[in-house]
Amino acid sequence: MKTYRIHALVCAGTQCLAAGGNGFKDALVEELKQHGLTEEVLIVETGCMGSCQLGPRMVVYPEGIMYTRLSPEDAKEIVEEDFLKGRPVTRLLWKQDEKQFLTLHETPFFAKQTRIVLRNCGFINPEDITECIAQGGYESLARCITEMTPKDVIKIIKDSGLRGRGGAGFPTGLKWELANKQISDTKYIICNADEGDPGAYMNRSVLEGDPHSVLEGMAIAGYAVGAQKGFIYIRAEYPLAIKRLEIAIKQARMSGLLGKGILGTNFSFDVELRMGAGAFVCGEETALINSTEGKRGEPRKKPPYPVESGLFGKPTVINNVETLANVSVIIEKGADFFRQFGTDKSPGTKAFSLVGKVNIAGLIEVPLGTPLRTIVFDIGGGIPEGHTFKAAQTGGPSGGVIPAKHLDIPMDYENLPQLGAIMGSGGLIVMDETSCMVDVAKFFLKFTVDESCGKCVPCREGTRQMLNILEKITSGLGTMEDLDLLEKLGNVIKQTSLCGLGQTAPNPVLSTLRHFRDEYIAHVKDKVCPANVCSMKAKK
């Protein structure tokens, strides 16, 4: 077997590529050629490594030295100094608070994280199944189908307390159990990879960095519920994730880890990709089913729930990417291992994309229940340029804001709703005092107005009216009655919308009204935007 003394892991996540990662990689390849090192140094293109704001990044093993903000010009120096002489190029190292960190593990960004879902992201070549297998990939599946009954599998998942990471937090084991009990010749597993919340890219990172973990999770789910076919419904906006998934599926099929008679057992399971086409509502599971069936992505009535009658009218389990990526770890290490992270009711970890006004934006994974303060200040390095934390927004357009006074709130499925926010899929947007909360609410509402499927009245017409009122307020024409009307209308939309999108669409408005009512009042009464964002047409 060929061995390389240096493994240079270049992040090939979308963000690092966007930041010019490809240019750096090409320069590196060229330099290696120039110095005759191609036999000694292996370049591995990995998925996202996390601290995206510092990209493009590269980690050089065996030492694990992490280089940040790379440009093509840096390749020569790295090769000559580090690869040839073993001298780290210090100017490219991670610097924070006047400290310099040689490896990722030493950084405060990494220190408070626990990586289960992201265990392989940034560490393996996602386009090579053997690297995944080396990390224990597919061993859980193998154990499930050779040593365990579907009921055993469901029991472990139930015991682990794993909850759906797509937003609502429905217990995964229970969903599987319900699907397992359905009597049907055909059942389906759908992986919801239609990560739609603006400002969220956890799922994409997993798919780009460790696609096999999702495929394995799907196959285990298939075994548990009695399904032989899985679909991954993925946003068309994620071309790299699609490409890596296509490669992963192909390799898994060729290795006999997907397809007929997996590992010589009589369990068969195969996975197909279905591309979405740009509709946020397709993240809603019944809309997603319609879209997978080639129709307009409009939600269906529930009940029947997908576990009873889903894709093509058959029992269907829909799990999100992150949920599925947890599965093989739980099988491998047991429910108790999983339960040592997180809280009693929200066990395990959660990936967040920490973005916005924060020093180190990026992809993180922390135990559930980690206080918001730890995430923003310890991991994210606080607010840049001397600004102050004003609020964090979770759950995207369905979510709400957490104001500064609640910075110590544990981030889990129980505590967030108490503040009118939701966990959501993991988008975490940090805002400082330069953000106007009315404007932020308007931003989200504009989003839902655009993305409403238009089927039911409260969502189609109601959100539009709410937006009208917000526009009135942000241009200084609002009245105090408008604030009441917003609340009243918001409640009717929540109460009577057909699907989750509509039922949560008013949340950003209701939540900002709750925590930042004074800002609304300033817009209405004083005709002033305290953050100086809104162009108030009418001045007092």
Partner 1 sequence: MEKIKSIDELRRLKEQSQAFLKTRQKDVKVKIYISVDKEENTNASRDVLLAVLDELKERDFSDFQIIEKAPMGSDIKEPFMALERDDLVIYYSNITPNMAREIIVSHAIKGQIVSDWVSKRSNL
Partner 2 sequence: MSELLNVKIDGKSYQFHKGDTILKACKQIGLDIPTLCYLEGISEEGSCSLCVVEIKGIKTLQRACITEVAEGMEITTNSEAIHEARKTNLELLLAHHPLDCMTCDKDSDCVLQDLAYQFGIKKSQFLDEKDTFSCPIETAWDTNLFIQFDPQKCILCRCCVGACENQAVVEAIGIAMRGYKSVVSTPFNLALEQTNCQFCGACVQACPTGALIEKPRIGKGKIFKFKKTETVCAYCGVGCNLALYKDKNDKLVMARGVTNKEPNRGRLCVKGRYGYEYVNSFERLTKPLIKEDGIFREASWEEALDYTANRLLEIKEKYGPDSIGVLGSARCTNEDNYIIQKFARAVVGTNNVDHCARLCHSSTVTGLGKAFGAGAATNPISDIENADVMFIIGSNTTETHPVIAQFIKENKKKRGAKLIVCDPRNTDIAKYADIFIQHYPGTDVALLNAMMKIIVDQELTDKEFIANHTEGFENLLKALENFNLDDASKITGVDKKLIEEAAIVYAKAPNSMIFYTMGITQHHVGVDNVLSIANLALITGHIGKEGNGIDPLRGQSNVQGACDVGVLPDVYTGYQMVTDEFARKKFEDFWKVDLPKNTGYAVSQFGDLTLEGKLKAVYTMGENPMVTEADVRHVKESLGKLEFLAVQDIFLSETAEIADVVFPAKAAYEKSGTFTNTERRVQLLRPARNPSPSVKDDWKIVCEVATRMGYSMHYKDEEMIWNEIREITPSLKGITYERLEENSLQWPCPDEAHPGTKILHYNGSFKRPNGKALISGVEFHPPIEIPDDKYPFILTTGRMLFHYHSRNETRRVKVLENFVPENFVEVNPEDAEDLNLKNKDMVKIRTRRGEIVVRVKISTKPKKGVIFVSFHFSETNANILTINALDPEAKIPEYKACACAIEKF
Partner 3 sequence: MESEKIPAVDKEIRKWGTKHESLIQVLHGTQESLGYLPEEVLTYIAKKMNVSLSKIYGVVTFYNFFKLTKDAEHVITTCLGTACYVKGGEAILNALCNRLDIKPNEITKDGRFTVRTVRCVGCCGFAPVMVVDGKDIHGKLTPETAIDILEKYM
- Cα(298)–Cα(311) distance, rounded to whole angstroms? 14
> Is residue 498 part of the contact set for partner 2 (CB under 8 A)?
yes
**What is the rounded distance in angstroms from the CA atom of residue 193 to the CA atom of residue 233?**
5
Q: Which residues share a beta bridge with 58? A: 10, 67
Q: State how far the Cα of 320 lies from the Cα of 233, in Å rounded to an integer.
A: 10
Per CB under 8 A, 42 contacts partner 1: yes
Using the contact rule CB under 8 A, the part of the chain among 128-136, 196-204, 333-341, 492-500 near partner 3 is 196-204
Q: Binding residue for partner 1 (CB under 8 A) from 84, 236, 277, 538? A: 84
Phi, psi of 392 (to 5 degrees): -120, 140
Among the listed ranges 88-96, 169-177, 258-266, 275-283, the one in contact with partner 3 (CB under 8 A) is: 275-283
Beta strands in 119-260 (DSSP E): 188-193, 229-234
Binding segment (CB under 8 A) for partner 2, from list 62-70, 143-151, 494-502, 531-539 = 494-502
Residue 432: count of CB within 10 angstroms of its CB: 18
Q: In the range 252-291, which residues lie near partner 2 by CB under 8 A?
A: 279
Three-class DSSP labels, 404-427 = HHHCCCECCCCHHHHCCCCCCCCE
Q: Do 381 and 359 form a contact (C-beta atoms < 8 A)?
A: yes
Q: How many residues bind partner 2 (CB under 8 A)?
A: 30
| Residue 309 CB, nearest approach to partner 2 (Å) | 13
DSSP 323-378: HHHHHHHHHHH-HHHHHTSB-SSSBSEEEEEEEES-SS-EEEEEETT-BHHIIIII
Question: Which of residues 38, 71, 146, 434 is near partner 1 by CB under 8 A?
Answer: 146
Interaction residues for partner 2, span 424-483 (CB under 8 A): 449-458, 460-462, 464-465, 468
Report how far residue 277's alpha carbon sits from residue 197's, in angstroms, rounded to the nearest whole number. Answer: 15
Shortest distance in whole angstroms from residue 336 CB to partner 3: 34
Between the alpha carbon of residue 464 and those of residues 24, 220, 444, 461, 514, the distances in Å are 46, 43, 12, 5, 21
Stretch that binds partner 2, among 34-42, 381-389, 484-492, 517-525 (CB under 8 A): 484-492
Among 76, 243, 494, 514, contact with partner 2 (rule: CB under 8 A): 494
Helices 211-225 and 321-333: angle between axes, nearest 10 degrees: 80
* Cα separation, 539 vs 434, whole angstroms: 20
Task: Summarize as ranges the residues that interact with partner 1 (CB under 8 A).
Answer: 1-7, 9, 39-40, 42, 61-63, 82-86, 123-124, 129-131, 133-136, 138-139, 142-143, 146, 251, 254-257, 263-264
Task: Summarize as ranges the residues that interact with partner 3 (CB under 8 A).
Answer: 14-15, 17-19, 51-53, 55, 195-201, 204, 236-239, 274-280, 291-298, 312, 353, 355-357, 361-363, 393, 396, 427, 429, 431, 435, 440, 443-444, 447, 450-451, 453
Task: Summarize as ranges the residues that interact with partner 2 (CB under 8 A).
Answer: 279, 296, 301, 303, 449-458, 460-462, 464-465, 468, 485, 488-489, 492, 494-498, 503
